[in-house]
């Protein structure tokens, strides 16, 4: 079998020890196991994240154990808790500063929908300002649910090329900007 034939069959095993892969899938695979989280914790869901990072649940098994509090050294923001309208521009600014390609996990009812805080001061879901990739249900979600979200995100990272990622984010940001456009009454 020639090299050209081999490259057209990614995933093919060569004996017991080697497998054919294209460069993109190897990079995506590596990326999926080196997600660096930025925990944006504003309320009780943050405690669940702390538990997920500790030895019982051990998020390090998925390569995401290295939290960063500098957005330029992180590529996955975990929004953990209630987001008020006052905080929303700060959250968006931090998202804009994350390293590309970047991902968003919305953890818990408050981040995903405002939760029980159906009030004038609370953002009713961070997808009004950020392109969310995975939602984690619950109040609070169990650490297992957060790990499940990381696994789901890993599957997405593995299967999505850079160009598709760019297009998805652009489409979602365009929708968000359109939804947030000020209403002008003439």
- Beta strand 18-19 pairing with 13-14: antiparallel
Does the footprint of ligand SF4 cover residue 81 (CB under 6 A)? yes
Does the footprint of ligand SF4 cover residue 115 (CB under 6 A)? yes
Q: What angle, rounded to 10 degrees, do the helices at 23-32 and 143-159 form? A: 160
List the one residue from 7, 21, 139, 162 that touches ligand SF4 (CB under 6 A).
139
Number of helices (H) and strands (E) in the chain: give both, helices first: 7, 6
Does the footprint of ligand SF4 cover residue 82 (CB under 6 A)? yes
In the bound state with ligand SF4, the residue whose beta carbon lies nearer, of 146 and 157, is: 146
Contact 108, 136 (CB under 8 A): yes
Phi/psi of residue 38, nearest 5 degrees? -110, 105
Tell the smallest beta-carbon distance from residue 59 to ligand SF4 (Å): 18
Q: Which stretch binds ligand SF4 (CB under 6 A): 64-72, 108-116, 126-134, 162-170?
A: 108-116
List the one residue from 20, 25, 44, 176 that touches ligand SF4 (CB under 6 A).
44
In the bound state with ligand SF4, the residue whose beta carbon lies nearer, of 43 and 173, is: 43
In the bound state with ligand SF4, the residue whose beta carbon lies nearer, of 82 and 154, is: 82
Residue 178, token pair as written in the block: 């359109």
Residue 83, token pair as written in the block: 């987001």
HEC profile of 54-78: CCCCCHHHHCCCCCCCCHHHCCEEE
Spatial distance between the Cα atoms of 93 and 151, rounded to a whole number of angstroms: 26
Does the footprint of ligand SF4 cover residue 150 (CB under 6 A)? no
**Cα angle for residues 126, 153, 47 (degrees, 5° grid):** 60
Tell the smallest beta-carbon distance from residue 45 to ligand SF4 (Å): 3
Does the footprint of ligand SF4 cover residue 45 (CB under 6 A)? yes
Name the site residues for ligand SF4 (rule: CB under 6 A). 43-45, 81-82, 108-110, 115, 139-140
């Amino acid at each position: 079998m020639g090299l050209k034939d081999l490259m057209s069959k990614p995933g093919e095993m060569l004996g017991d020890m080697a497998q054919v892969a294209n460069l993109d899938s190897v990079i995506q695979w590596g990326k999926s196991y080196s997600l660096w989280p930025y925990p944006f914790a504003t309320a009780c869901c943050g405690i669940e994240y702390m538990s997920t990072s500790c030895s019982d649940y051990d998020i390090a098994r998925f390569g995401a154990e290295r939290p960063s509090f500098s957005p330029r050294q992180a590529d996955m923001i975990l929004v953990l808790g209630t987001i008020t309208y006052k905080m929303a521009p700060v959250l968006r600014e931090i998202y804009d500063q994350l390293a590309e390609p970047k991902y968003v996990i919305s953890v818990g009812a408050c981040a995903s929908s405002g939760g029980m805080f159906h009030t004038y001061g609370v953002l009713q879901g961070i997808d009004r300002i950020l392109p969310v990739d995975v939602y984690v249900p619950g109040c609070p979600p169990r650490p297992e649910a957060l790990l499940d979200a990381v696994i789901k995100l890993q599957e997405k990272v593995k299967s999505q090329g850079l160009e598709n990622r760019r297009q998805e984010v652009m489409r979602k940001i365009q929708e968000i900007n359109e939804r947030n456009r000020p209403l002008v009454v003439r």
